[in-house]
A = this chain, B = another copy of it.
Amino acid sequence: MPKATFFNLPREKQEHIFRHAVQEFALHPYEQASLTEIVNQAGIAKGSMYQYFEDKKDLYKYVVDKVYQHKRKFLQPVWALKDNVDFFEFASMYYRRSWHYARQHPEHHRVIVNFWDSRDDAVRDEILHEKQIRSYEFAYMLEQGFKSGVIDPRTDKEAAWFVYHAVAKALIDNFLAPDVNADSHETFINAVLSLLEQGLRPRKE
Interface residues of A (CB under 8 A from B): 28-29, 31-32, 87-88, 117, 119, 145, 149-153, 155-156, 158-160, 162-163, 165-167, 169-171, 174, 188, 191-192, 194-205
Contacts and interface: CB of A to CB of B under 8 A. Distances in A.
A167 B158 contact: no
A196 B202 contact: no
A152 B117 contact: no
Given A162-B170, A170-B169, A199 B202 contact: no
A159 B192 contact: yes
A185 to B, nearest CB: 12
Contacts of A198: 152, 199, 201
A176 to B, nearest CB: 13
Contact of A197 (B32, B151, B201): B201
Q: Is the interface of A mostly helix, strand, loop or mixed?
A: helix
Contact of A203 (B88, B145, B152, B159): B152
A169 B155 CA distance: 22
A201 B170 CA distance: 22
A205 B199 CA distance: 14
B165 A200 contact: no
A201 B169 contact: no
Contacts of A156: 191-192, 194-195
B196 A163 contact: yes
Contacts of A158: 188, 191
A204 B201 contact: no
25 contacts: A88-B201, A150-B200, A150-B202, A151-B201, A152-B201, A152-B203, A153-B202, A156-B195, A158-B188, A159-B188, A159-B194, A162-B170, A162-B192, A163-B192, A166-B167, A167-B167, A169-B170, A196-B199, A198-B199, A198-B201, A199-B199, A199-B200, A203-B204, A204-B204, A205-B205
